[in-house]
């Protein structure tokens, strides 16, 4: 193996700065493209990436529970391992690795606002488990990862990704806020947890039954029927997130001051009604992949 490619792989694995990694990934792709034994190098790259990202967690599986909050020092490794395109033919893989590096550089920047703290994230998940068995119902057998990335995303404060095989949310990416004074990172987390209830209840982020749309229409969104499914899903996640926050120790993070308390109480009842109807073990057989 060329020292160049080997050195770049090592420096990607031990780099804790996502933006630097993005550039290194582009350099790696350019360097490996010219090599004779590129298939071996590519295989080694993926092996190393997965080993350093997942290795720490696989060896202590008694501690994993229903979800994993990534340690700060592995968060970039984990981001790369979870988001890098899966291997295909060698040339296609090399091109997709380069696009992945470019995607990082064009979508992420240095942190602007706050990110949720590990303490706050743990407190919220523990509270929801204690009150509603949220984690047991939503994450069980799912291996959900919470990634607190030390960067700001160009367009969103947080994201979740949905597994192709069973249509469940598997990764929660929690970024530094786009603006210094905007929604709180905690409200962003509740929004993602709202998406998780939606997907668990109906199996697909692109499916909202008509009766739910009718309810949303009656509780503050008179024009919801005119909107596209993506916008409807975002509103639905907001309502469920605000509903979960209502009357909890985390209502201090609720920034939706324009919504009246009696309406938030309705959101709360709505979220709990939906949540209580979710069975712990249900099979969902759709085949979509999405980001929300």
Residue 218 region by backbone torsions, left for phi larger than 0, else alpha for psi between -120 and 50, else beta? alpha
Instruction: Tell me which residues in 223-262 interact with Zn ion (CB under 5 A).
Output: 234, 237
- For 98-129, letters b (16+ CB in 10 Å) and e give bebbeebeeebeeeebebbeeebbeebbeebb
| Cβ distance to Zn ion smaller for residue 80 or 183 | 183
Residue closer to Zn ion (CB basis): 136 or 291: 291
Q: How far is the CB of 196 from Zn ion (least distance, A)?
A: 11
CB of 241 to Zn ion, least distance (A): 9
Cβ-based nearer residue to Zn ion, 203 or 241: 241
Q: Of these, 144, 147, 271, 292, which contacts Zn ion (CB under 5 A)?
A: 292
Query: Does 196 engage in binding with Zn ion (CB under 5 A)?
Result: no
Indicate the residue among 12 and 244 with the shorter CB distance to Zn ion.
244
DSSP H or E segment with residue 149? strand 144-153
Nearest residue to Zn ion, by Cβ distance, number only: 292
Q: How far apart are CA 32 and CA 34, in angstroms?
A: 5
Closest approach of Zn ion to the CB of residue 188, in Å: 9
**Helix then strand then coil, % of the chain, to nearest 5:** 60, 10, 35
Among residues 28 and 172, whose Cβ is nearest to Zn ion? 172
Question: Least distance from C-beta 248 to Zn ion, angstroms?
Answer: 20
In Å, what is the CA distance from 174 to each residue of 22, 76, 112, 249? Answer: 18, 12, 13, 20
Calculate the alpha carbon distances from 284 to 47, 86, 159, 167, 199 in Å: 31, 23, 21, 7, 9
Smallest gap from Cβ 292 to Zn ion, in A, equals 5
Name the site residues for Zn ion (rule: CB under 5 A).
234, 237, 292
């Amino acid at each position: 193996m060329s020292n160049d490619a080997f050195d770049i792989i090592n420096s990607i694995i031990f780099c804790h700065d996502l933006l630097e990694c993005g550039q290194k990934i582009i350099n790696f792709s350019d360097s490996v493209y010219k090599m004779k034994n590129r298939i071996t190098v590519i295989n080694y790259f993926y092996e190393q990436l997965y080993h350093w990202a997942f290795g720490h967690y696989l060896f202590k599986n008694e501690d994993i529970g229903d979800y994993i909050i990534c340690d700060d020092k592995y968060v970039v490794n984990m981001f790369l391992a979870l988001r890098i395109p899966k291997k295909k033919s060698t040339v296609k893989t090399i091109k997709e690795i380069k696009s992945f590096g470019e995607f990082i550089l064009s979508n992420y920047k240095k942190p602007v606002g706050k990110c949720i703290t590990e303490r706050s994230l743990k407190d919220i998940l523990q509270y929801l488990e204690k009150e509603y068995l949220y984690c047991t119902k939503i994450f069980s057998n799912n291996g959900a990862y919470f990634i607190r990335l030390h960067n700001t995303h160009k367009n969103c404060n947080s994201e979740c990704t949905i597994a192709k095989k069973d249509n469940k949310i598997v990764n929660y990416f929690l970024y530094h806020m786009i603006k210094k004074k905007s929604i709180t990172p905690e409200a962003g987390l509740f929004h993602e947890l709202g998406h998780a209830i939606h997907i668990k209840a109906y199996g697909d982020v692109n499916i909202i039954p008509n009766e739910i749309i009718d309810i949303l229409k009656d509780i503050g969104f008179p024009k919801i029927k005119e909107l596209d499914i993506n916008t409807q899903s975002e509103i639905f996640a907001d309502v469920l997130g605000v509903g979960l926050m209502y009357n909890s120790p985390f209502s201090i993070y609720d920034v939706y001051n324009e919504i009246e308390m009696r309406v938030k109480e309705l959101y709360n009842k709505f979220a709990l009604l939906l949540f209580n109807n979710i069975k712990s073990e249900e099979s969902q057989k759709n085949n979509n992949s999405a980001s929300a």
